[in-house]
Structure 1
């Protein structure tokens, strides 16, 4: 029986139309707790299980909780009194507690902080049993501890129907939000708040699909994959039938998510209004959002060009290019790599003689308007010609960091079986983007996490005798083409013929809301598309007017990866590492995939990597001409020749693997700046390498290594000791600076962690040292580099790579309270520069030494001067406060918030830099 709340007088309260973010201001003035006792059916049956070879040694966790749906009454109660619906928050506490509990962790205590991820549910742990839609070929059993759905089907259709029904039960509102995001319709659906406008605009520019485009992607994916393609289509349709059956049941029973009332789609009194059924093209719209967020590496060629122009303007072409390349760190010799046995996998390397480059004329770049008002005029400030530096700052895109993996071969473990701790760092949301489930049926046997609305298969998790996970890889599958304009601004030359651009647009309008102050409004998003992809910028190149377009290999192919996930869920397909790598090869998004069973470990880097024309440099825009197109490129289907599986970084049974969005292997160029000598991947590398050297690795020791890294301040661990070495090269006579040095040194000696004094204290040990470094880092970076680079070039480089991403840095690429930290920053630049000042060996150093012009005494003066300034900054200045935290509250400024995507809110937790969904696995046997 579905989890539900009986209709009460509260359900009949009429609520004004407003977007879901309004809820932070909602209040209820009457006691309603007695009206909210949920009805459940307690069962005694045990969910059927397939063979489970993990021996009780598989665990997982996904905060805040499995239940992502809440009725109107539950939402209002949460807002008024903070009470939570069943299973909405029960994984948040164990997840948070690892930060202070990992020090005493043993294997026996792992499930204090994780869930038991064994298949099935013990009979005494069954909370409910239901036959969704009255079907006899599928059963959904939920366990008492977490409420996770365990779906068991006797037919393939019934199994997938059950998966869809469970998805509706747990994430219906979120699924609805994201299908509208993917279609550029969020404001019309959920209201015109700025956050909604920003979200739909961010994705629409990258994936401006029509309904015909969405359907064509499905048709191609099915047609190109034979029997597996046909099975995927049948699975998707059965999944949709399950979702829609839940919509109908929850509508007639009036236990649908309360957000539908709060946004005006349903009437709380009459039940008038509809919740639209899902259709198969909605799944592609959803996939486009997830793929854009986590699996599309590359782009940024215009930004790169602007910073190169700035470098050449300052130093001249030859020296400026050398300086640019040293900051780009394409193939840094000191970068930590996932494949560390020396195997080279060349991709997107620098050509000896670049061909076809189309660098913009200085000051000519403008961003293509996206938003237009009802008159057809650009509704946002029209981009104007500006300096390269200003344009670079404007064009800088928000980058996201996510996911890590620690995998150790059985040769180095206590049991002789591989051990893995891994998971995706997908951010913290309420409800969570991912959902947990177990699916058992013909051709499917898996448990783990899937993105809501795409959960016909488990996307990250475990099979009968193997587990797999992913991290974002970021290799470059996106290129920028300069299409020469002809006739007017909306025609371009394609193979010598003046061709009209396609105009794709999405109109949105919304009604006024009260709580968030959003007035009624409307606008239209408009994207101009070419055969080379959507137009993103306009400029001149050598005086010729061009449009810069963005073409990614996964564009118009959002549905293709379904085949790889189908394979990963198939116990008859996955028998070992080679099968796993073959399945991962069928995923066209850019991910690093990791595997562990009782005997082997493996790694594979996925993505449709286009084979570029000879001489094309992937770092910069090129002319939209046949000579510079991807090899084998067909513009009608956006298909091309892709690098073979053998050319993708891959490995089997390496001593260990680590990944934290770092470089994959030697000569494999990612699109990310900052893959240098200091990267957050080093936090894992140093710890796992030490464990492997000692041998006898266990699940708990690997979890400890992960947790220890998750609390480390990368700057303090890997860069601060060198900065202090410069400062202490002579006696520090200034009392303020000396006191600061003492505090910083004590912090480094204590381990350079951002940890509470005790569990729940909400106060950091070494709090003053942390404050000083948080204040000092941006000051020292600017003082170290700007004098030598000059303001224009310094600003251009900071547009390519932000200088800081500390947990409390709201200005950083992930924003405040996001958890993920220290992926993007100038740690490598500072490290290499300071080592040069100290006269230490540096492989692949910067083109020149910047701190104090290379003088140790001058550099020391700069560091001490900025350190004194930082030490004098108050906590209130360093941590200015926001709508959650008071100014000066250091712990709160760092803390993680589950960002609301619906009506239920949760409390913030202490900072940890770790995956959102995470597995701990060690298989005892194999089929």
Structure 2
């Protein structure tokens, strides 16, 4: 870089930094954050790249005993400017009017003359800090934008797969997404300008590094946004597999009883499930007489089709949480905000931090690759925002009637149409990615309905407009949000389905976003839709009909990917919204105190992050309650139960405080890990019989650290066992599962599960005495994929993309 450019840029940048910072005011009393993957992204891994990971790990053993001084020890500053985190260094850049200062954590503090300067600088920093990630992810992301059947684009990224894409793929993506922006008027055109300037900054850095990468294009930006949506921002689209389970149940139990059992399993409108919002928001009621659906014959899906339909559900990842406490329950009289997305642990990280300053703009937080100068999660001068995946029903599978014996002609609105064809590219070692399309979307595969061959297609509400997700973040970053009204309006722009959390110095609020289809009233949203054109979507749920709430009477808004509101139907792929959900651990920990400070809210989150819900939650009431109605078959099984109950009394934490490789709870964790899948099988097998394996494929075998304590059929075990004990529910099961409703038979099957687990553990641990068993903490230590950063940390289930700890004590003059 020429010295004249370096000096001129540094001088002008200094002047700009003074002018901007002099006029800015930070209304945060406390502003802290942590990103365990850190800011660094280079190879070889630089010294200090794991500093934030080690800080993050330091909080874990504190459980709920977090003191105010611990916050500044295990979180770093999120105030504006670099002064809180120096020593710092100026980074020269070849653009007049841009200044970048790196702090001790390598976080870039960026100052510009205007928004376009920030866009350019954000692109420059993206390649500098996440060039490896961009190089690996930009081409696999095309498959997410296209909804290529059977392709988990994120697994291609993490698996370091080499991908080649076609010009056809890029033309489709660029045409669709650019059109979506232009149709969005002035705001869409402004976002397109941001994107183009962001691309210029990224390509400037590529040239500076003399990189062999092809220049970044709009298709890259659009596709990476689609990839984020595929991982975190969609729900539903698994109707075919679920309907095959219904088909199997009806074939064995009869049409009426099979449908009854299946309806219990769907947990579509369970009034006993915990919700974040107290107000009722009706959506997706099941029609009494559904004529717009097809039930796919059990086992009729082709192998390739089965993989494709399964992939639609498996790409969803739901691990994020937020805890927001209102001012009337806080010690400082202002809202408390502890929140962040859980996106896994990677090096280079999937997010990177930026501090952005320009006239009228003051924002800091986590950006995403392809964020176009916007912050994904962060804070402005007097407000903060965050996201959790909502999993609401944005996707559907359609059953296409084939014409004239052809696999590529289908019936739509009275005439036969020829399917489209897309050649998307090649995956090294896997081959060509080619597929057909209908008016609804890509064809996933073929199956039969009533013995007749059909095609299964996939429709996603955000398809072709993924980039519009950035509108919400642009408004947040640009400071256009200043109160509840503008917050709701910003959140409503997202086509992806997320629960958006918001706090300022007076308010806490949440809004459940996403382009949510209004389905034909003759369509059961839990089943595939007949694709002949009679049962198409009828529009979108209006913004104010989305679940939203501010400042509830309880003074608390907690979410851990649970159902947002009563009356809001679960998506077809979300069968876990039942009587037990991990958000109850957050609720219980917050409920221990009427008045909170940021340390106690952080402690409530940190405790839940290592608690085992199978023991800490109500399912243990059911398991122990049934077992205690009769004697144990052996002293060993009784001792196993006693150890679990003692662990529960101590908080049911899986923490390894001393990092000695053993969970502090001794035998209890491994007992529950071994016995729980057997208990779940014992509860469900009497009714499900040969369909038990199908349900387990859909919902997982166990609820554990590997699943983030979601799924694993725990909601069925919880409600069925407690119902058997006489606990009343608002939405009781019509089916009696365990022991087919006979308490003695159920108890015997559960004790047998303990006996079998005891035999297994005795063989593994070399002793029949449970008190001498141990639980391996090293086996569940967190590793940073794909292995470039070798540091490991204790197991914890808390936000990893960024976690913010904030409280605001003032506000700009104007609110809206």
TM-score (norm 2): 0.90
2:231 to 259, 284, 293: 293
Aligned equivalent of 2:98: 138
**What is residue 904 of structure 1 aligned with on the other side?**
788
| Aligned pairs (5 A) from 1:451-850 | 451-487=368-404, 488-508=406-426, 510=428, 521=429, 523-571=431-479, 573-631=480-538, 641-654=539-552, 655-671=555-571, 672-691=574-593, 694=594, 696-718=595-617, 719-732=619-632, 734-756=634-656, 758-791=657-690, 793-807=691-705, 809=706, 821-850=708-737
**Following the alignment from structure 1 to structure 2, what is the Cα–Cα distance between the partners of residues 395 and 611?**
21
Change (3 A) 1:824 1:209: farther
The answer on 1:400 being equivalent to 2:317 is: yes
CA shift, 1:126, in A, is 4.5
- Residue aligned with 2:468, SS: coil
Contact 1:305 1:620 in 2 (8 A): yes
Query: Does residue 219 of structure 2 align to residue 281 of structure 1?
Result: yes
**Aligned-residue CA RMSD in angstroms?**
3.1
* SS of equivalent to 2:534: helix
Secondary structure in 2 matching 1:324: helix
Deviation string, structure 1 residues 846-867 (Cα, Å, up to 9, x no partner)? 2232222323332222222211
Distance 1:201 1:625 in 2: 38
- Conserved? CA contact 2:177–2:464, under 8 Å: no
**Out of 342, 350, 368, which is 1:433 matched to?**
350
1:732 positional shift: 3.2
- Alignment match, 1:162: 121
Does the Cα contact within 8 Å between 2:245 and 2:298 map onto a contact in 1?
no
1:522 to 1:396, Cα distance in 2 relative to 1, 3 A: closer
1:437 match: secondary structure: strand
CA contact (8 A) 1:480 1:550 kept: yes
Q: In the TM superposition, what whole-angstrom CA distance separates every residue of 1:178-204 from its partner, at most 9, and x where no partner exists?
A: 111112599xxxxxx996499699999
2:241 matched residue in structure 1: 303
Q: Does 1:852 align with 2:739?
A: yes
2:763 and 2:783 map into 1 onto residues whose CA distance is 20
Partners in 1 of 2:316 and 2:115 — Cα distance? 39
Cα distance in 2 between the residues matched to 1:877 and 1:618: 46
Alpha-carbon shift at residue 727 of structure 1 (Å): 1.8
Q: Is the 8 A contact 1:417 1:922 kept in 2?
A: yes
Deviation, structure 1 residue 221: 2.9
SS of the aligned residue for 2:128 comes to: helix
Instruction: Give the 3-state SS of the residue equivalent to 2:273 in structure 1.
Output: coil
- Residue by residue over 1:733-776, the C-alpha shift from the partner in whole angstroms, topping out at 9 and shown as x without a partner, is 612112212222221121111112x3322221222111111100
* 1:835-885, Cα deviation, whole Å (9 max, x unpaired): 122223233222232222323332222222211221232389599xxxxxx
TM-score, normalised by the number of residues in structure 1: 0.80
1:349 pairs with 2:257: no
Match 2:50 to one of 89, 111, 131: 89
- Preserved contact between residue 609 and residue 643 of structure 1 (Cα < 8 Å): yes
The answer for the alignment partner of 2:770 in structure 1 is none
Counterpart secondary structure, 2:467: coil
Partner of 1:190: none
Instruction: Note the 1:152-301 alignment, pairs <5 A.
Output: 152-184=111-143, 196=156, 210-251=169-210, 274-301=212-239
1:919/1:869 CA distance change after superposition, 3 Å: same
Measured in 2, the distance between the counterparts of 1:845 and 1:924 equals 45
> How far apart are 1:63 and its partner, in Å?
1.1
Instruction: Tell whether the 8 Å contact from 2:317 to 2:389 is kept in structure 1 after alignment.
Output: no
Give the drift of 1:399: 4.5
Match of 1:424 in 2: 341
List per-residue Cα deviations over 1:669-706 (Å, max 9, x = no partner): 12211101111121112222343xx2x21100100000
Structure 1 unmatched ranges of 5 or more: 3-39, 76-83, 187-192, 257-273, 370-382, 385-390, 511-520, 632-640, 815-820, 880-886
Asked if structure 2 preserves the Cα contact closer than 8 Å seen for 1:403 and 1:660, the reply is yes
Structure 2 residue matching 1:774: 3-state secondary structure: helix
- Residue 334 of structure 1 and its aligned partner are, at CA, apart by 1.1
Partner of 2:66: 105
Residues 52 and 118 in structure 1, CA contact (< 8 A), matched pair in contact too: no
Mapped contact 1:775–1:878 kept (Cα < 8 A): no
Shift of 1:400: 2.2
Counterparts of residues 364-375 of structure 1 (less than 5 Å): 364-368=300-304
Alignment CA distance shift 1:405-1:783 (3 Å): same
- Whether the 8 Å contact between 1:495 and 1:626 is mirrored in structure 2 is yes
Instruction: State the Cα distance separating 1:208 from its structure 2 match.
Output: 12
Q: CA deviation at 1:509?
A: 6.5
2:275: which partner in 1? 337
In the superposition, relative to structure 1, how do residues 611 and 842 fare at CA in structure 2: closer, same or farther (>3 Å)?
A: closer
Q: 1:539–1:297: structure 2 CA closer, same or farther, 3 Å change rule?
A: same
Aligned residues of 1:421 and 1:703 also touching (Cα < 8 A): yes
Does the residue aligned with 2:209 lie in a helix, a strand or coil? helix
SS in 2 for 1:761: coil
Alignment CA distance shift 1:616-1:334 (3 Å): same
**Is 1:360 equivalent to 2:308 in the alignment?**
no
Distance 1:124 1:863, change over 3 A: closer
Query: Structure 1 residues 923 and 742, CA, compared in 2 at 3 Å: closer, same or farther?
Result: same
Is the CA contact (8 Å cut-off) linking 2:354 and 2:364 kept in structure 1? yes
Cα–Cα, structure 1 residues 750 and 197, in superposed 2: closer, same or farther, change >3 Å? Answer: closer
Structure 1 residues 44-53 or 299-308, which shifts more?
44-53
8 Å Cα contact 1:527-1:534 kept in structure 2: yes
Between 847-856 and 351-360, report the one with greater CA deviation: 847-856
Cα offset for 1:289? 0.8
Between 292-301 and 844-853, report the one with greater CA deviation: 844-853
Distance 1:87 1:698 in 2: 31
CA distance in 1, matches of 2:71, 2:711: 31
Preserved contact between residue 82 and residue 88 of structure 2 (Cα < 8 Å): no
1:861-876 mapped onto 2 (5 Å cutoff) = 861-874=748-761
Q: Distance in 1 between matches of 2:334 and 2:313?
A: 45
Please state whether the residue corresponding to 2:808 is helix, strand or coil.
coil
Shift, 1:160, TM fit: 1.2
Local SS of the residue matching 1:626: coil
Deviations 1:274-316, CA, capped at 9 Å, x for gaps:
2211011110111111110000111111012111112212221
Distance 1:725 1:102, change over 3 A: closer
| SS in structure 2 at match of 1:753 | coil
Query: Measured at CA, do residues 664 and 63 of structure 1 come closer, stay the same or move farther in structure 2, by a change above 3 Å?
Result: same
* SS of aligned partner of 1:173: helix
Aligned position for 2:80: 119
Aligned residues: 781
SS across alignment from 1:767: coil
Q: What CA distance in whole angstroms lies between the structure 2 residues aligned with 1:208 and 1:697?
A: 56
In structure 2, distance between residues paired with 1:208 and 1:319? 52
Closer/same/farther in 2, CA of residues 302 and 601 from structure 1, 3 Å limit: same
